[in-house]
Amino acid sequence: MARTTDGEGTPVPQRLLATATRLFAEQGYDRTSVQEIVEKAGVTKGALYHYFGSKEDLLQEVYARVLRVQQERLDAFAGSGEPIEDRLRGAAADVVVTTIDNLDDAAIFFRSMHHLSPEKHKQVRSERRRYHERFRALVEEGQRSGVFSSATPADLVVDYHFGSVHHLSTWYRPDGPLTKQQVADHLADLLLRALRP
């Protein structure tokens, strides 16, 4: 009996995660009650606590998903055999597109990280740092080979770019004048232009 009525086709855990993600993004983690999540997901509190140990676990799942996807995509771009300029441009644009595709995740990511318990917080930050370092490695590679200017420390360059990515959830609107691909190309272009020797 494969049901599709009322979103009940999706398994309970996924449904909970999707609902929680949306609500966390819309209202913030603290403003979203467990009661609200289960009501909107059409299940009961007992069910939620059957699948997730706590409200915080839901939040961490969101992070885990985001981190996994971003790491994989960056690895793909960084590992291609193309010239460094193309690899950096590709990665820089891709993280914009992916972020726009998951604006909710992004909003949560940058706004609610401090709601995690210290240990989980530390773990997420360390994974995030790994991602950041791999990105920085691309910049440094270009600087060493003289393709990029070395006027600015690579660290700062990366933070400059990720600042703008972080900022997307604040201003990007799907019905705005630019498609996500256009935004991505523009932002990647700004990065590359700033790095011209």
Token pair of 9 as six digits = 């086709």
Q: Does 33 bind DNA (CB under 7 A)?
A: yes
For residue 40, which amino acid is it? Answer: K
Contact 97, 178 (CB under 8 A): no
Q: Pick from 44, 145, 149, 179 the residue near DNA by CB under 7 A.
A: 44
Please give the DSSP secondary-structure letter assigned to residue 175.
Answer: T
The C-alpha atoms of residue 144 and residue 150 are separated, in whole angstroms, by 8
Token pair of 81 as six digits = 């055999």
Provide the binding-site residues for a copy of itself, judged by CB under 8 A.
27-28, 30-31, 110-111, 114-115, 149, 151-153, 156-157, 159-160, 162-168, 170-171, 178, 183, 186-187, 189-191, 193-196
Q: Does 43 bind DNA (CB under 7 A)?
A: yes
Task: Kindly tell me which of 1 and 193 has the beta carbon lying closer to DNA.
Answer: 1
Site string for DNA, 55-84 (x = CB under 7 A): xx----------------------------
Task: Kindly tell me which of 76 and 156 has the beta carbon lying closer to a copy of itself.
Answer: 156
Q: Does 49 bind DNA (CB under 7 A)?
A: yes
Task: Kindly tell me which of 5 and 126 has the beta carbon lying closer to DNA.
Answer: 5
DSSP assignment of 121-172 equals HHHHHHHHHHHHHHHHHHHHHHHHTTSS--SS-HHHHHHHHHHHHHHHHHH-
Q: Does 34 bind DNA (CB under 7 A)?
A: yes
